[in-house]
């Protein structure tokens, strides 16, 4: 019986893993880089964490990227376990961030470029003041540093620490970006009216000007409600993050369950989450991107988000055709006003299949 319980516990603990590679967009230079953090990960059979950093105050940060730490934190969903000195010469262990919250984003270290640095954030650690512990790691490129090592820590904020690291994992591999935009004399900007009919995760859109119809399957941009993080997201230059799940609910921190677009906004030293559009309001309609044709693009709108000014948040997505982009990625952001944004996506889901026009 003990063996069965232990086996079940091992399965439960091992389940909290997240992907260890990420493609990062440098919006300033319009380049893409892939970062592979697998060398910074150890599997759950390892009984000690090989990556750690001791501060001058004898606090130790144990870290396992893309998986759970082997240290003594109570919650198994922990990638950063902090050992803090306590009275009497003992230690206490607190979670500095959960595995399931892992975010791999563009480098924030001002001394590095997007090709030579990547930021990994773990949030929703143990309770700290009015919030929770959060740990960022700036992984900076050092080709010879395999696996790598932490060399500095910034603990100037009570509940947030930034760790600095040299590692070959911080050296981005440049990868191809999306192909040039499709252009046509019959672009969607000239279409006078449109209509659509939704199905489980897609819709058939009518190009009434040219008497054609196209079906778009958006299921590749959807994750089920059990997924702990949204795989589609975009960080703006103001550090606002848009998380989205097409045809379903976002896994991010918005309070309303009926939310497909969850917006994380800076709020002092913390963040607040607001709904950028409800799942039930999803509308799939004719392409509005003027650089695309009706068969190479589709517009998906989420409205009725949280209160904003005299109205409510609305978010539009221009899903543009890129056959090799599965599921796809967001490459451009426009804020039309303080309560409405447009995001551009390259994805195979933006490639319409012509169907009979009725």
pLDDT one-digit tens code per residue, 241-259:
999 999 999 998 898 888 9
Residue 17's region, left for phi above 0, alpha for psi from -120 to 50, else beta, is beta
Distance separating alpha carbons of residues 276 and 339, to the nearest angstrom: 8
- pLDDT tens profile 270-320: 889 999 999 999 999 999 999 999 999 999 999 999 999 889 999 999 999
3-state class (DSSP) for residue 249:
coil
Taking alpha carbons only, the member of 218, 216, 286 closest to residue 246 is 218
The answer to whether 22 and 232 have CB atoms below 8 angstroms apart is no
> For residue 88, what pLDDT is reported?
76
- Tell whether the model's pLDDT for residue 176 goes beyond 60: yes
Q: How far apart are CA 152 and CA 130, in angstroms?
A: 26
Report the distance separating Cα 82 and Cα 299, nearest Å.
Answer: 45
Evaluate whether 68 touches 90 at the Cβ level (below 8 Å).
Answer: no
Q: Mean pLDDT over residues 104-127, rounded?
A: 93
**Residue found by looking up tokens 């539009």 in the block:** 316
What is the rounded average pLDDT of the residues 174-193?
Answer: 42
The SS3 assignment for 112 reads: coil
Say yes or no to pLDDT of 9 above 70.
no
List beta partners, residue 60.
Answer: 54, 83
For residue 22, report the phi and psi dihedrals to the nearest 5 degrees.
-155, 135
Residue 69 contacts residue 41 (beta carbons within 8 Å) = no
For residues 79-94, average pLDDT: 89
What is the architecture, at CATH level 2, of domain 17-173? Distorted Sandwich (2.70)
pLDDT score for 177:
60
Cα 10 to Cα 2: distance, rounded to the nearest angstrom = 12
Query: Which residues on neighbouring strands pair with residue 105, listed in sequence order?
Result: 119
Model confidence band, residue 100 (pLDDT cutoffs 50, 70, 90):
very high
Q: Which CATH class is domain 188-355?
A: mainly beta
Q: What is the pLDDT of residue 66?
A: 95
pLDDT at 319: 97
Contact 348, 320 (CB under 8 A): no
Percent of the chain with pLDDT over 90: 64
Q: Provide the token pair at 230.
A: 């949204």
Give the start-to-end residue ranges of the domains of the chain: 17-173, 188-355
| pLDDT score at 269 | 81
- Answer yes or no: is pLDDT of 336 > 60: yes
Distance of CA 34 to the CA centre of its chain: 15
**Phi-psi category of 277—alpha, beta or left, where left has phi over 0 and alpha has psi -120 to 50?**
left
pLDDT at 180 over 70: no
171 pLDDT tier (thresholds 50, 70, 90): very high
Indicate the average pLDDT of the chain: 86
Task: For residues 189 and 293, give the distance between their C-alpha atoms in angstroms, rounded to a whole number.
Answer: 8
């Amino acid at each position: 019986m003990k063996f069965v319980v232990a086996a079940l516990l091992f399965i439960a603990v091992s389940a909290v893993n997240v992907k260890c590679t990420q493609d990062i967009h440098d919006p300033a230079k319009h380049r893409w880089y892939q970062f592979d953090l697998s060398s910074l990960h150890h599997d759950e059979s390892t009984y000690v964490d090989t990556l750690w950093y001791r501060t001058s105050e004898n606090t130790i940060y144990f870290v396992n990227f893309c998986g759970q730490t082997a240290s003594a934190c109570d919650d198994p969903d922990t990638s950063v376990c902090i050992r803090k000195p306590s009275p009497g010469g003992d230690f206490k262990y607190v979670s500095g961030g959960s595995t399931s919250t892992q975010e791999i984003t563009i480098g924030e270290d001002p001394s590095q470029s997007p090709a030579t640095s990547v930021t990994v954030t773990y949030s929703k650690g143990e309770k700290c003041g009015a919030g929770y512990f959060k740990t960022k790691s700036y992984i900076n490129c050092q080709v010879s540093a395999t696996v790598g090592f932490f060399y500095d820590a910034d603990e100037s904020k009570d509940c947030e620490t930034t760790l600095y690291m040299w590692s070959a994992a911080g050296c981005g591999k440049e990868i191809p970006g999306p192909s040039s935009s499709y252009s046509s004399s019959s672009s969607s900007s000239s279409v006078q009216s449109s209509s659509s009919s939704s199905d489980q995760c897609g819709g058939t859109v009518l190009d009434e000007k040219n008497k054609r119809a196209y079906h778009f399957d958006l299921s590749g941009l959807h994750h089920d409600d059990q997924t702990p993080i949204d795989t589609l997201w975009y960080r703006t230059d103001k550090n606002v993050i848009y998380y989205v799940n097409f045809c379903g609910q976002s896994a991010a921190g918005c309070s309303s369950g009926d939310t497909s677009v969850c917006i994380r906004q800076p709020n002092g030293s913390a963040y607040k989450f607001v709904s950028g559009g409800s799942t039930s309001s999803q509308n799939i309609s004719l392409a509005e991107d003027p650089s695309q044709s009706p068969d190479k693009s589709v517009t998906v709108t989420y409205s009725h988000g949280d209160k904003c000014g005299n109205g409510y948040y609305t978010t539009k997505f221009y899903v543009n055709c890129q056959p090799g982009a599965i599921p796809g990625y967001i490459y451009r952001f426009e804020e039309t006003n303080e309560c409405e944004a447009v995001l551009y996506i390259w994805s195979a889901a933006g490639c319409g299949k012509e169907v009979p026009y009725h």
